[in-house]
C-alpha cells in the first residue's frame, strides 16, 4: 500500500544517503525541507522532496499535513523498561534526604528491583513491560534498546531477556537487547564478587548466547559496583560470544570506564556525568558513541553530561532516556530533548540529531532508522500544528505529537 503525505510544513532530518552519525560542529546542521511531501510503501520510505517537485502519483491514500511537521521517531538507545513494580518509596526517601548511594547500601536500589523481579512470573513481567513499551511508542519512540540487569540470577536474567524477545516479536517498534548481569552484586554473593563474575561468565552468558537473547553486553562500571578490571573481564568473555559492549560509565565517578569502552570498541559509553579532559580526549576519532541521559541527572539531581564541552571538542553525542524504576522513571524522549537544550545548552538541531541518527547508531540501526531517507523504515512523528521544530524542545513538559507512524502504520 502506498501512502502520500503532502504539504508538510517542514520535513526534518532528511538525507539522500544514510550517514553513520553526526559529529561535533556538524551536529548544529539539521537538514530539512519546507513544504514537503513524503511517500511510503508499506513499512518503507520510498520518496520525499519539495511539494513543487512532486511527481504525478496514484497513491492508495493521500494525507494533507498542512501546518504540521514530520520528523523521524526517537531512537532511545538506553533503557531498562523490563522491570517489576516501582521504587516510589526510594523517591520519597530521597526527598527526605537519603542519597542514591545510601539507599543502595541499605539493600534498596537495584537489589530492591531484583527482588521484585525474581518474585513475579514471566507473564506478569511481560504485561508490565508491554504497558511501558506502548507508552513510549505513543510518545514518539520508534526504536529502543532494553537491558537485563534486574535479574542477577541465571533464571531471572534469562526471564528478562525472554520478555524483551517476546516484546520484539509482538510489537512493530524495533527493539535491541543488552545483557547486563553485572549491574549490581546480588546478596547471595555479597562478599564474593569474583564468584559472581565467574558464575555470570560460566553459566549465564553461555545460556544467553545459546538462546540468542542479546546483541550487546553492558556493565555498571562504578565505584561500589564493578571495577575497570571486572568490566574488562566481562567484556572479554562476552566478546567470545559476539556481544558488543554498551557500558554504564562515569555516572558518579570517573574511574577509567571510558578508556575500557574505547579499548573494547564499545558501540557506546553511557551516562558520562563525570567527565575528565582525558575522557573526552579518549573518545576522539573512535567509533564509540558517547550517550547522555539527562532525565537521570534531572531526577537524581546529579550533574548533567558536559555536552557543550564534548560537542565543541569534536565528539558526537546521542541522547537516551535511561527509563528505569530507580534513577529515571520516565521514557519521555520529548522531555529528554527539551532538558538537553535547557540544561545542557544543546541547540534544538543538536538535540534532535542526538535523539535520532546518533541514537540509531548507538543501537547499530543507522542504516534502517534515525532519518528520513529512501529505503529506511517509515517510522516518523507527525506533530500538531506548531510554528517550528524548535517548538518541540521549547514546550517542555508537553509533547507536540499528533500521531506516530511505526513501520508505515499509525499506532
Ligand atoms: N546506574 C545504573 N543503572 C541504572 C539505574 C538502576 C537503578 O537504580 O535501578 C541507571 O542507568 O541509572
Ligand atoms: Zn542505565
DSSP for 4-49 reads EEEEEEEEESB-SS--S--BGGGGG---EEEEEEEEEETTEEEEEE
Q: Please give the pLDDT value at position 316.
A: 98
Residue 202 C-alpha to ligand 1 middle, in angstroms?
A: 25
| CATH number for the domain harbouring residue 406 | 2.30.40.10
Cα distance between residue 20 and residue 357, in whole Å:
8
Residue 379 C-alpha to ligand 2 middle, in angstroms?
A: 25
Residue the block writes with cell 534532535:
352
| CATH number for the domain harbouring residue 308 | 3.20.20.140
Check whether residue 65 and residue 191 sit in a common domain: no
Check whether residue 162 and residue 228 sit in a common domain: yes
Residue 289 · residue 257 · CB < 8 Å: no
Check whether residue 274 and residue 344 sit in a common domain: yes
- Binding residue per annotation — 268? no
Check whether residue 265 and residue 377 sit in a common domain: no
Check whether residue 261 and residue 378 sit in a common domain: no
- Binding residue per annotation — 327? yes
Cα distance between residue 274 and residue 150, in whole Å:
24
Cα distance between residue 74 and residue 301, in whole Å:
24
Residues with C-beta less than 6 Å from any ligand 1 atom: 109-110, 113, 220, 248, 251, 296, 322, 324-327
Atom of ligand 1 nearest to the CA of 113: 9
Ligand nearest 77 Cα, by number?
2
Cα distance between residue 335 and residue 393, in whole Å:
7
Check whether residue 58 and residue 149 sit in a common domain: no
- Binding residue per annotation — 326? yes
Ligand nearest 78 Cα, by number?
2
Q: By C-alpha distance, which of 381, 372, 374, 373 is closest to 403? A: 381
Residue 53 · residue 72 · CB < 8 Å: no
Domain extent at residue 201: 75-361
107, 145, 248, 294: which to mutate for ligand 1, most atoms within 8 A of CB? Answer: 248
Grid coordinates of 392? 518541540
Distance of CA 158 to the CA centre of its chain: 21
Is 277 buried (19+), middle (13-18) or exposed (0-12) by CB count in 10 A? exposed
Check whether residue 9 and residue 42 sit in a common domain: yes
Check whether residue 26 and residue 108 sit in a common domain: no
Residue 348 · residue 132 · CB < 8 Å: no
Cα distance between residue 239 and residue 329, in whole Å:
31
- Binding residue per annotation — 253? no
Check whether residue 34 and residue 118 sit in a common domain: no
Residue 80 C-alpha to ligand 2 middle, in angstroms?
A: 6
Supply the residue whose CA is at minimum distance from atom 2 of ligand 1: 220
Q: How many CB atoms lie within 10 A of CB 119?
A: 11
* Residue 200 DSSP symbol: I
Residue 313 · residue 286 · CB < 8 Å: no
**pLDDT string in tens for the chain (411-residue length):** 999 999 999 999 999 988 999 999 999 999 999 999 999 999 999 999 999 999 999 999 999 999 999 999 999 999 999 999 999 999 999 999 999 999 988 889 999 999 999 999 999 999 999 999 999 999 999 999 999 999 999 999 999 999 999 999 999 999 999 999 999 999 999 999 999 999 999 999 999 999 999 999 999 999 999 999 999 999 999 999 999 999 999 999 999 999 999 999 999 999 999 999 999 999 999 999 999 999 999 999 999 999 999 999 999 999 999 999 999 999 999 999 999 999 999 999 999 999 999 999 999 999 999 999 999 999 999 999 999 999 999 999 999 999 999 999 999
**Strand positions, DSSP E, 203-335:** 216-221, 244-249, 268-271, 289-292, 318-319
Check whether residue 96 and residue 235 sit in a common domain: yes
Residue 193 C-alpha to ligand 1 middle, in angstroms?
A: 19
Q: By C-alpha distance, which of 211, 206, 195, 215 is closest to 147? A: 215
Domain count, the chain: 2
Helices H / strands E in the chain, number of each: 16, 16
Ligand nearest 327 Cα, by number?
1
Check whether residue 28 and residue 112 sit in a common domain: no
Check whether residue 375 and residue 291 sit in a common domain: no
Q: How many CB atoms lie within 10 A of CB 386?
A: 18
Q: Please give the pLDDT value at position 107.
A: 84
Supply the residue whose CA is at minimum distance from atom 4 of ligand 1: 327
Residue 319 C-alpha to ligand 2 middle, in angstroms?
A: 12
Residue 110 · residue 149 · CB < 8 Å: yes
What are the two backbone dihedrals, phi and then psi, of residue 321, each rounded to the nearest 5 degrees? -90, -35
Question: Which one of 343, 361, 379 terminates a domain?
Answer: 361
- Binding residue per annotation — 251? yes
Q: Could you tell me which residues come within 8 angstroms of residue 99 by beta carbon, excluding any fewer than 6 positions away?
A: none
Residue 18 C-alpha to ligand 1 middle, in angstroms?
A: 33
- Binding residue per annotation — 150? yes
Q: For 28, what's the count of Cα atoms within 13 Å in the CB-facing half-sphere?
A: 7
Residue the block writes with cell 540544561:
343
Amino acid at each position: 500500500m502506498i501512502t502520500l503525505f503532502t504539504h508538510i510544513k517542514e520535513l526534518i532530518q532528511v538525507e539522500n544517503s544514510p550517514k553513520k552519525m553526526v559529529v561535533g560542529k556538524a551536529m548544529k546542521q539539521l537538514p530539512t525541507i519546507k513544504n514537503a511531501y513524503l511517500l511510503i510503501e508499506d513499512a518503507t520510505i520510498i520518496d520525499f522532496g519539495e511539494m513543487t517537485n512532486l511527481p504525478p502519483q496514484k497513491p492508495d491514500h493521500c494525507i494533507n499535513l498542512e501546518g504540521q511537521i514530520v520528523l523521524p521517531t526517537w531512537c532511545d538507545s538506553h533503557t531498562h523498561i523490563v522491570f517489576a513494580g516501582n521504587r516510589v518509596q526510594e523517591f520519597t526517601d530521597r526527598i527526605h534526604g537519603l542519597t542514591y548511594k545510601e539507599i543502595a547500601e541499605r539493600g534498596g536500589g537495584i537489589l530492591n528491583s531484583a527482588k521484585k523481579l525474581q518474585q513475579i512470573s514471566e507473564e506478569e513481567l511481560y504485561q508490565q513491560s508491554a504497558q511501558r513499551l506502548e507508552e513510549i511508542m505513543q510518545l514518539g519512540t520508534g526504536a529502543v534498546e532494553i537491558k537485563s540487569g534486574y535479574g542477577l540470577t541465571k533464571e531471572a536474567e534469562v526471564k528478562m531477556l525472554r520478555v524483551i524477545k517476546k516484546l520484539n516479536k509482538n510489537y512493530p517498534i524495533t527493539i535491541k537487547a543488552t545483557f547486563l548481569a553485572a549491574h549490581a552484586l546480588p546478596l547471595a554473593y555479597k562478599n564474593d564478587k569474583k564468584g559472581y563474575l565467574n558464575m555470570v561468565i560460566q553459566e549465564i552468558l553461555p545460556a544467553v548466547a545459546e538462546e540468542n537473547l542479546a546483541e550487546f553486553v553492558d556493565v555498571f562500571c562504578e565505584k561500589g559496583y564493578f571495577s575497570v578490571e571486572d568490566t574488562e573481564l566481562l567484556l572479554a568473555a562476552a566478546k567470545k560470544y559476539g556481544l558488543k559492549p554498551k557500558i554504564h560509565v562515569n555516572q558518579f565517578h570517573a574511574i577509567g570506564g571510558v578508556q575500557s569502552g574505547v579499548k573494547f570498541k564499545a558501540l557506546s559509553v553511557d551516562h558520562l556525568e563525570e567527565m575528565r579532559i582525558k575522557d573526552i580526549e579518549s573518545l576522539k576519532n573512535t567509533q564509540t558513541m558517547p550517550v547522555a541521559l539527562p532525565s537521570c541527572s534531572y531526577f537524581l539531581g546529579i550533574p548533567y553530561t558536559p555536552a557543550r564541552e564534548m560537542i565543541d571538542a569534536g565528539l558526537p553525542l546521542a541522547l537516551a532516556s535511561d527509563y528505569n524504576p530507580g534513577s529515571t522513571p520516565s521514557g519521555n524522549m520529548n522531555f529528554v530533548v527539551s532538558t538537553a537544550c535547557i540544561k545542557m545548552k544543546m541547540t534544538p538541531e543538536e538535540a534532535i540529531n542526538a535523539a535520532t541518527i546518533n541514537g540509531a547508531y548507538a543501537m547499530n540501526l543507522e542504516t534502517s532508522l534515525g532519518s528520513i531517507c529512501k529505503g529506511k523504515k517509515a517510522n516518523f512523528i507527525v506533530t500538531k500544528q506548531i510554528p517550528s521544530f524548535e517548538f518541540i524542545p521549547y514546550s517542555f513538559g508537553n509533547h507536540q505529537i499528533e500521531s506516530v507512524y511505526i513501520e508505515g502504520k499509525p499506532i
